[in-house]
Amino acid sequence: MTVINQKDEIQFTIGKGIINDPIDFIINSIDNQIFILDNATNTINLFNLNNGNNLGEISFQLQNENENEKINSITYEPSHKILYTLNKNGVIIGFKKNSNGITTFKSIRKLQLQLFDETFHPNISINYLKIDILFNNSIIIASENKIEIFKWVGPSITNIQFIYNRIEISGNGLTNVSLVYFENDKLNPCTDLYFHYDKLISCKYENIKSKLKTNNNYQINLIFNNNSIEENNNDNDEDDIKFLMGNLLFINDGCMENYIYDEINLKCKKLNNSLITISKCLNKKESDNFNKTITMIGETCPNSTDDGDGDDWEQISNSTINIGLNKILRFQKCWDEKLMYRFTEIDSIPTIESNLILKNNNCKFTFDEPILIDLQNIINLYQLTCFDLYGTNNIIKASGIPMIPYTCNISLTNTNTTNTTKNEDLIFLKNFQPWLIGYSRCLHGIRLKNDLDKCQCNSNSSGDGGGDGGDIWIGKQCDRQSCNSKVGYELVPSTGQCKCNKKCNENEVLEPISCQCQCNISMPFRCPDSNDCTNSFSNCLKSFISKQNRCDNLSSKPFSCVNGNCYSSPSECLSSIPECLYKKCCWNGQPYPNPKSPTSSCLTLPSCPNILPYRCIDGSCKLSISQCISKTLLFTHHTPCKLNDLCPDGTCPPCSNYDGCSILQPIQCLNGECKNNYTQCQLPSLIFGNSSSTTTTTTINLLKNNDLLISSSPISFLFEPKNNGNQLLPIYIKPIKTIVTVETGIDKSVKVYNKKGEFTAEINLNLPSTENNKKQTLLSIEPVSDSFLRSVGFSKNLSRENAIYSSVLNITLPFYPTLPNGNFPFIVNITFKMINNFKNLIISKDTINNFCLGFINIKSNQWECVSINENNNNNDNNNNNNNNNNNNLILSSSSNDRNEIIVKGFTNHFTCFAVLLRGSSDFLNFNSNGVKRNENSNGSGESNQYNNLSFNVSPSIIIGTIFAVIGLAIIVVIIGVIYLSLKKHGSWETMKNVFIERLKYRFSSSSSSSSSKKNKSTLSPTQIIEPINESKIEKCLSNNNNNNNNNNNNNNNNNNNNNNNNNNNNNNNNNNNNNNNNNNNNNNNNNNNNELIVDINQNNNEIQNNQ
């Protein structure tokens, strides 16, 4: 294995001269080591990943000789320090590192696999077998022809939690666990190990609250007895005993040792006695069995002394239940099918089983469904027993004395003794108190030694007291956050509310709603890098550009951290901030500003620089995937999420906003788009007017508009990019964050620049004063992350590559009120510098209406054109002078570069804005003068037409297309006639002679035609079959031409008449009127073909005679 440095130079080689045939490797990133499997020697060697030094060959201490099989694949779990091997027979063995050497591993478990897909037989000889990913107690194994999923059979751990002063471990096959202990405290294992059932065990760890720190993870080991998993004849050395490992996230409840916190009653409490007795009592004086038996909580039966004869009840049986282990009491009314009376059974079940056993019965014949009482959420428990028509009736209530049922027909006089009634029905009411109430909770503080009921709250709890670093807590139990945790607030004792008392610096004023300091009117601009106030944003540009390019210039370390240093990956930045080792931070090392929405409050992760365009799965930027760290390193062992879910900074979701590319499409092209490989970046984004010839991979607008394109050819290129598509698309040109204090009641203009210091946009507005904004308010313009922009939809014929012609601005007035519909009662105009990235696209005053001021509709997550209802915006704002153009862009001015054009649009609400190419219907809905051809009568504006995919083609295109088709048809007919004539005559010379003779006939027929018209003579049917002279041939051709012209100009009725007359006898033509002359022409036309045949034969005979 060769390691290459950042200069593409060979730094060192791993395994040279040692490894002969490497077939698999795995990286231990915690110890910076790499395991390499040598197929030739069936050995595994361990190397130092930093310098390539060989640390030695792995020595395996096997439990059985049959484990020494050919190894096909390996994987490593660094958290448990277990090396897994997969041999040729499909057996997986886990080896744990021995404490006496870094290359000595002992076999700790042999994993038997149960197939999900039984078509795979691991005993068959397999040339290739690869173990890859462990997850959810299952494993994926890839063979040479398929991928199989297997599930572990045997003991496993699914969850460990600390609950109610016990450690509960859930999993599978846990019945043979013999010992549970913490990794760093082997001499003090857990006590009171209890097996609830095969999938749940629990134990008690003494002084756990004083030994462990809250919100920390601790490793717990489970030891099994020798025969629990498989036969083991070795000595009982601990390393030879099978064991499992799991992690416990310990969270302190704030109560003292052995006490638990009751979230319902807000008390710290512990059990008076974990064992309680359930007694069954018999009434000795009752002659029948109808109401002789009752079930009571307690060791003794009721004592009735109403007649002075002593005890009336005696205990006939009792049972003990452990409510310390099983804190769910289950009551169920049962039925005695022989004696026909009702009685009650009482037992307890584990908390984890309460939902599973709800329908299970506690008796053979049931009277009602079981009632479950969670003792963890009660203080007192009342049991009321009376006798009614059906026998014993038990009523259980956890809070408040239960009402006496009417069926008992008795009034209660003494709640602690047995009472008799006029109907001699007995009532027993017993108050069962399982809990002892302790001292108050001390959640985020330190309990005072001289007064255990008092808690001193920490001002900065780092974990010892249970708090999160930096939080300030108040209250008797230190369970309420202080207003001091909100910067600039103080608590008002009379109201219990937090009040803003923040002190602002010079040139700042306090905004009371947000409790933020704003720049004052004289110095309204806040610089994004220094946070200082200035009178002009241009004063911020120079320092901002130099600072924001500081890490960009260090291409190998493009990520700027809060400590001022540059790093090659976000993980390097986080590891350099000590606070982020125990607290959750943003990618740049800043603690989450808003814990309720942590990722959205972080800065946007920057994109990779152009010279390092590949985003690796650890978040670093490299030239190609070959320079990235192994996927197995980060994905398999360090991330609990799937590879497809990884965030661009290498963490698991939820992801922060980011610029640039994701892990799934890691390559950033020069135009800002993300692809899977470099060849996709090199594909030109060209599109033809004819959709059938489209070769691009992205959906581009297939419309043809001569007003927009330089070339008017029907097959001209549309949206052909400049510089082979290497110019950054406008949507990826980011503006500088601009925050400015705006004075109300006057015209205000705010300019926006991009991160290169170039003019991008300008916002002009006049804000009316409001109750909370009488003199000034805050205007914010921020860039929009690429991750969000890629989630926004377009109409079907548009995309990011051809739809956006400016930077995207997120414009807000965070403290200014809006109308109920979310709009402002005034108009704002936004000026943009349009950027045209296409060679053959014209942007001018004649085509500007093909574009609009676009905004992102956050409800539909779609780009739309701004549409303002002018009737709802009647005010005196100066911007309303342009109301006639509120729904269109106005060409304001143009620079020397025809591709950088200044346009102005209008809006009455704020969100994300950009210059947008209209949808397909709007695209051609304007003529060259900017006037709509088809106005929408419903007044819905552009947004209703944006997704309409119907095309309104201009008349000029239609007429031109018709003439082109007709001309093409004529050419085809002429070529066809020439081809047929040539085929009939056999040679060009013969065909030429025939046509010369025909021209002679036409010339001579002109005189005979005029004389025949004077004499009004016509041809008879008998003359058609006689030898044809020149005058007859010319007349037929002439009539044929006239008939064709007539047919083109006649209406439908004339055509029908002509068709009918074509079948008439020619003798009738002599008696027709002027209208019938046309019919004669048609008749002559019908016989024209026969005359031509005669003509041709006659001419051929004449030519042969001449020859």
Which has more confidence, 854 or 23? 854
Asked which of 143-147, 262-266, 277-281 is least confident by mean pLDDT, the reply is 143-147
What does the pLDDT read at residue 1055? 40
Report the distance separating Cα 806 and Cα 255, nearest Å.
60
| pLDDT band at residue 855 under the 50/70/90 scheme | very high
The count of C-alpha atoms lying within 13 angstroms of the C-alpha of 470, restricted to the half-sphere facing its C-beta, is: 12
Q: At residue 932, does pLDDT exceed 50? A: no
Report the distance separating Cα 973 and Cα 979, nearest Å.
10
Largest CA distance in the chain: 163
- How many Cβ atoms from other residues are within 10 Å of residue 932's Cβ? 14
Q: Smallest Cα–Cα separation from 262: which of 170, 161, 165, 349?
A: 165
Q: Which residues contact 897 (CB under 8 A, 6 or more apart)?
A: none
Report the distance separating Cα 275 and Cα 126, nearest Å.
58
At 95-110, the pLDDT tens digits run: 877 766 678 887 766 6
What does the pLDDT read at residue 1033? 32
What does the pLDDT read at residue 388? 64
Secondary structure (DSSP) of 360-388: --SSSSBSS--EEEEGGG-S-EEEEEEEE
Using DSSP's 3-state secondary structure scheme, residue 176 falls into: coil
Q: Average of pLDDT values for 914-935? A: 50
| pLDDT band at residue 614 under the 50/70/90 scheme | very high
Q: At residue 434, does pLDDT exceed 90? A: no
Q: Are 759 and 734 in contact (CB under 8 A)?
A: no
Q: Are 880 and 827 in contact (CB under 8 A)?
A: yes
Highest mean pLDDT among 79-83, 237-241, 281-285, 808-812: 808-812
Report the distance separating Cα 865 and Cα 922, nearest Å.
10
At 1016-1071, the pLDDT tens digits run: 333 333 222 333 333 333 333 333 333 333 333 333 344 434 343 333 333 333 33
- 967 is written with which tokens? 């001309």
Pairing between β-strand 82-87 and β-strand 166-172 as defined by DSSP bridges: unpaired
Q: Average of pLDDT values for 549-578? A: 82
Residues in the chain: 1107
What does the pLDDT read at residue 831? 93
- 955 is written with which tokens? 């008349």
Secondary structure (DSSP) of 237-254: -GGGS-EEEEEEEE---S
What does the pLDDT read at residue 785? 93
Which has more confidence, 395 or 789? 789
Asked which of 679-683, 851-855, 960-964, 1008-1012 is least confident by mean pLDDT, the reply is 1008-1012
At 123-136, the pLDDT tens digits run: 433 445 566 555 55
Which has more confidence, 81 or 446? 446
Residue type, 384: L
Q: At residue 484, does pLDDT exceed 70? A: no
Q: Smallest Cα–Cα separation from 654: which of 665, 664, 641?
A: 641
What does the pLDDT read at residue 188? 92
What does the pLDDT read at residue 780? 92
Asked which of 88-97, 251-260, 636-645 is least confident by mean pLDDT, the reply is 636-645
Angle at 520 between CA 519 and CA 523, to 5 degrees: 80
| pLDDT band at residue 788 under the 50/70/90 scheme | very high
Report the distance separating Cα 285 and Cα 418, nearest Å.
15
Q: Smallest Cα–Cα separation from 482: which of 457, 501, 502, 504?
A: 457
What does the pLDDT read at residue 1082? 41
Using DSSP's 3-state secondary structure scheme, residue 1041 falls into: helix
What does the pLDDT read at residue 683? 54
Rounded mean pLDDT of the chain? 70
Q: At residue 938, does pLDDT exceed 50? A: no
Q: Average of pLDDT values for 1069-1083? A: 39
What does the pLDDT read at residue 386? 76
- 522 is written with which tokens? 């004289």
What does the pLDDT read at residue 134? 52
Q: Which residues contact 343 (CB under 8 A, 6 or more apart)?
A: 293, 294, 295, 333, 334, 336, 391, 392
Asked which of 137-141, 557-561, 1047-1051 is least confident by mean pLDDT, the reply is 1047-1051
Q: Are 665 and 607 in contact (CB under 8 A)?
A: no
| Global pTM value | 0.45
- 399 is written with which tokens? 């809070």
Highest mean pLDDT among 100-104, 254-258, 979-983: 254-258
Asked which of 119-128, 318-327, 466-475 is least confident by mean pLDDT, the reply is 119-128
Q: Could you tell me the sign of the dihedral formed by the alpha carbons of 890, 894, 899, 902, in that order?
A: negative
Q: Average of pLDDT values for 252-275? A: 88
At 357-415, the pLDDT tens digits run: 445 666 777 777 777 888 888 888 888 777 766 666 777 777 666 656 544 554 444 33
Q: How far is CA 897 from CA 735, 758, 824, 834, 917, in A?
A: 21, 14, 36, 11, 20
Please write down the HEC assignment for all residues of 531-559. Answer: CCEECCCHHHHHHHHHHHCHHHHCCCCCE
Q: Average of pLDDT values for 735-758? A: 90
